[in-house]
């Protein structure tokens, strides 16, 4: 299992969620965050409001999800966001205690 996290522009949230659903992933966590770019104006010095999305998917869906996020989130301007992928060692449903769920 992999966790895919994306920091995106707020106005692209609905488009990206729809794109993720089209790939066949339903469970999505969304939050608000702030950040700034690393080296070039206008993204350095000020904090910009962004959305944070996280999904946990089987390994074979990673490429499709990353492409869906990138295609739906790209505005051809600086600050469109970043995608991060990390390994999930284990998961467990809180109520059923079933392990290994996605």
Chain segment 5-44, per-residue pLDDT in tens: 999 999 999 999 999 999 999 899 999 999 877 766 666 6
Residue 92 falls within a domain, yes or no?
A: no
In a domain, 43, yes or no: yes
**Edge-first strand listing for the sheet containing 2-8:** 29-35, 48-57, 2-8, 81-87
What CATH number corresponds to the domain at position 61? 3.30.70.120
54 has pLDDT over 80: yes
Specify if 47 maps to a domain: yes
Q: How many domains does the chain have?
A: 1
Q: Is residue 79 situated within a structural domain?
A: yes
**How far apart, in whole angstroms, are the C-alpha atoms of residue 39 and residue 24?**
36
Whether 68 is in a domain gets the answer yes
Per DSSP, what are the bridge partners of residue 8? 51, 81
Q: Indicate the pTM of the whole model.
A: 0.88
Tell me, yes or no, whether 93 lies in a domain. no
Establish if 102 belongs to a structural domain: no
In a domain, 54, yes or no: yes
Q: Is the pLDDT of residue 45 over 70?
A: no
pLDDT band at 47 (very low <50, low <70, confident <90, very high): confident
Q: Could you give the count of Cα atoms lying within 13 Å of 55 in the half-sphere of its Cβ?
A: 25
DSSP result, 27-73 = --EEEEEEE--SSSTTSSSS-EEEEEEEEEE-GGGHHHHHHHHHHHH
Give the pLDDT confidence score for residue 36 in this predicted structure.
79
Range of the domain at 26: 2-87
């Amino acid at each position: 299992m992999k966790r895919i996290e994306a920091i995106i522009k707020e106005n692209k949230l609905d488009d990206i969620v729809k794109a993720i659903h089209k790939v066949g992933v339903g469970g999505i966590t969304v939050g608000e965050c702030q950040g700034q770019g690393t080296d070039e104006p206008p993204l350095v010095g000020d904090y910009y409001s962004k959305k944070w999305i996280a999904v946990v998917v089987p390994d074979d869906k990673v490429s499709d999800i990353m492409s869906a996020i990138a295609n739906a989130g790209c505005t051809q301007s600086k600050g469109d966001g970043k995608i991060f992928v990390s390994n999930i060692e284990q998961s467990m449903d809180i109520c059923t205690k079933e392990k290994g769920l996605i």
